[in-house]
Amino acid sequence: MGHGPLKVDPAIERFNTMREEAYLHFRWTNRTVRTAVIGFLVVPATMYYIASTSNQRWDWTGKLKGESLNAKSTHDA
């Protein structure tokens, strides 16, 4: 190999080969479909919902101790 005193571990080499060729043996199963749906649809949709409902809800600028951080506070002048 030309790496000098490097000792090659066959188990690590097999693992690296398996990892590099995993896409060749991929199959859609119930588990992979469930993971894809959760990872690509449910998580982003949940994050979007949380972000859109809390957008412009809080106002941190110029607030003193004890003042409400709610942007639509009725006590603001």
Chain segment 6-48, per-residue pLDDT in tens: 889 999 999 999 999 999 999 999 999 999 999 999 999 999 9
Give the pLDDT of residue 2: 62
Residue 69 in contact with residue 59, Cβ under 8 Å?
yes
Q: Side chain identity at 28, as an amino acid letter?
A: W
Residue 61 in contact with residue 67, Cβ under 8 Å?
no
User: How far is 11 from 18, CA to CA, in rounded Å?
Assistant: 11
pTM for this predicted structure: 0.57
**What SS3 class is residue 65?**
coil
Residue 77 in contact with residue 62, Cβ under 8 Å?
no
Assign 75 a pLDDT band (cuts: 50, 70, 90). low
Give the pLDDT of residue 50: 92
